[in-house]
Amino acid sequence: MTSDAGTAPPPPAAGEAATFEAFSRAVQARFDAVVAADGHLFEVDAPDLGPLFLEHLPAERRPYHTCSCCLTFLRRFGSLVTVTKNGGIASALWSPDTVPDLYRPAVTAMMGAVTGAPIRSAFLASGETWGRPTAGGFPHFSLAVPETRRYGGIVVTARQAMAARREDFRTLSHALDVFDRRVVAQALTLLRAEALYRSEKVIGPAEFLLRLHDEVPRKAGPKRDAILWRAVANAPPGFCTPRGGMIGTLLADIAEGRDFATVKARFAAKMHPLAYQRPQAAPRAGTIAQAERLFAQLGLEPALRRRYAHLDEIPTIWRPRHGAAPAEATASHTASGIFGGLKARQAAVPEAVLDMPAQTVTWSKFARDVLPDAQRMWVFTAERMTFCGLVTAVNPDAPPLLQWDRPEARNPVSWYIYVNGSTPTRWRLPEGAWVPVTGATLLPVLWSGADRYRHHRTGAVLILDGAQDDAASGLCLFPEFLRSDLHGVRAVIEAYSKAHRIEGVEEGTANGLLVGQDGDHRIRVESAIGTATYRIDRWE
């Protein structure tokens, strides 16, 4: 550290350079420990720390420490803090117990100024290093930033993202004032009881609001603000703006005293799959131009090509045993050759023991008690069922397009069903027959854990031998599946999706029956001790 004010700085005292480097290491260690324990950073409305730092140094050492690099660092990064669960504020950089004696008074003063100031914003910044480690041959304040704390947004800058977080704080604070705990608790009761259509879409925001009502002090003040800021930093996209989403509509209806029948009907109408988050008009020219720029910026064009998934490329929770043939072998009607269009006779379906009536179970019980011992399974095809297609990216190296597809854990698989179900014949399956199950998997959104994307439906797919959609139209890139930074151009993506088709219909071997939510599905299971039939009517 040295002066750059135009005059030569005084020479450093003996060992002072080493002392400053020890100080810098202590600041880095403090920062590393803080971000490892919590991760989210905030900046407080503290005074400029540069003068405070110099004021608490010995007078003879102040000229040596007066440099624009270090003072700029203190001004930009010195006021960073973290927030504990109960609203306590801790400096992200300053801890007097770990620094050399020379700097302890200054660090104590800066820590006091920072922890006593109100939070101004969540803090985001890119770059591997904050500050300038060296300049002019001297060391300066700087931080090596772990990858988890670097802002990596492409669509908006770090400053724009910080502005959005400030708006989130404002709207969330207002929502807590408008919708009291009683209203939120009543809404959550309806959602948890599954009394409302597609309740899984908004149960997460409702739980988030109720938890905040229980954690946030009613009285305005620094502690309330700190807890709210922590909530904003940890919230999934959309949770901080309840008044602009479906949870806000539900809360408003309850707050206005509407009867249950009206609340239920209004909620169902707005949550209909053909209406929820779906653009109701063609995109404007300006939005199309915006989408062009955005997709070019993100390199997303290759991700738009979609194809049907193959059984061998999805994670399964069950596969047939006891010599059962895999899907690629049994789906012989897709084979080439003169007689490739003929399907070989399947093995006979064993009868259930003593014609016992089907046992009605939840999917959770079926998965826990039946699947582990199941050797083979069949599904009985009724007139109309929730048949499901699994779709993935044609280009596996294309950037993530879906919410649950992340660079560090790729998962480009999505799914689709028809709103009122579909017929077996649409999927090239016989009606009123027992169709072999070639595998079982959870919905793709559950592959990384049940709690990560709770706003999507839960469900499992029983992969059916030969199931292929004969009349699929569009790419099934639904707006509610897309990553949040594409929200502004969802109308363009929807229009594009409708105008293109999923590839690889004939090669798709991972389609089947969606179970666990809607319908009453009959499954016959063969185990080592016999055969039984089950009805799966709900998830749990």
Judgement on whether residues 372 and 494 belong to the same structural domain of the protein = yes
Judgement on whether residues 142 and 162 belong to the same structural domain of the protein = no
Judgement on whether residues 337 and 468 belong to the same structural domain of the protein = yes
Predicted confidence at residue 325, as pLDDT, reads 44
Cβ atoms of 491 and 287 within 8 Å: the answer is yes
The reply to whether 7 falls in a domain is no
Q: Specify the long-range contacts of residues 449-457, CB closer than 8 Å, at least 24 apart.
A: 452/404, 453/403, 453/404, 454/200, 454/203, 454/204, 455/200, 455/201, 455/202, 455/203, 455/204, 455/205, 455/236, 456/200, 456/201, 456/480, 457/198, 457/200, 457/517
The reply to whether 94 falls in a domain is yes
Judgement on whether residues 166 and 137 belong to the same structural domain of the protein = no
Question: What six digits make up the tokens of 483?
Answer: 């990553």
Domain boundary among the residues 271, 289, 317 is at: 271
Predicted confidence at residue 428, as pLDDT, reads 96
Among 107, 93, 99, which Cα is nearest to 30's? 93
Judgement on whether residues 427 and 516 belong to the same structural domain of the protein = yes
The reply to whether 283 falls in a domain is no
Judgement on whether residues 135 and 163 belong to the same structural domain of the protein = no
- Show Cβ contacts of residue 249 under 8 Å, excluding neighbours closer than 6 positions: 266, 267, 270
- Give the angle subtended at the CA of 445 by the CAs of 439 and 451, to the nearest 5°: 115
420/442 Cα distance (integer angstroms)? 21
Cβ atoms of 25 and 102 within 8 Å: the answer is no
Predicted confidence at residue 366, as pLDDT, reads 93
Domain boundary among the residues 119, 149, 179 is at: 149
The reply to whether 9 falls in a domain is no
Judgement on whether residues 343 and 473 belong to the same structural domain of the protein = yes
Predicted confidence at residue 473, as pLDDT, reads 82
The reply to whether 3 falls in a domain is no
Judgement on whether residues 513 and 364 belong to the same structural domain of the protein = yes
Judgement on whether residues 259 and 312 belong to the same structural domain of the protein = no
Q: What is the pTM of this model?
A: 0.72
Predicted confidence at residue 154, as pLDDT, reads 80
Judgement on whether residues 46 and 180 belong to the same structural domain of the protein = no
The reply to whether 279 falls in a domain is no
Judgement on whether residues 422 and 520 belong to the same structural domain of the protein = yes
Domain boundary among the residues 123, 149, 175 is at: 149
Cβ atoms of 407 and 154 within 8 Å: the answer is no
Task: State pLDDT tens for residues 293-311.
Answer: 999 999 999 999 999 999 9
Predicted confidence at residue 327, as pLDDT, reads 41
The reply to whether 499 falls in a domain is yes
Cβ atoms of 71 and 106 within 8 Å: the answer is no
- Show Cβ contacts of residue 346 under 8 Å, excluding neighbours closer than 6 positions: 330, 436, 465
Residues of the chain below pLDDT 70: 1-15, 272-281, 322-348, 350-356, 450-456, 518
Judgement on whether residues 194 and 305 belong to the same structural domain of the protein = no
Predicted confidence at residue 272, as pLDDT, reads 67
**For residue 135, what are the domain limits?**
16-149
Cβ atoms of 466 and 434 within 8 Å: the answer is no
Cβ atoms of 351 and 530 within 8 Å: the answer is no
Could you tell me the CA-to-CA distances from 352 to 356, 359, 439 in Å, in that order?
Answer: 7, 11, 21
Structural domain count of the chain: 3
The reply to whether 113 falls in a domain is yes
488-515: b (≥16 Cβ within 10 Å) or e: ebbbbbbbbbeeeebebbeebbbbbbbb
Residue type, 185: A
Predicted confidence at residue 333, as pLDDT, reads 43
Do the bridges between strand 414-416 and strand 119-122 make them parallel or antiparallel, or are there none, so unpaired?
unpaired
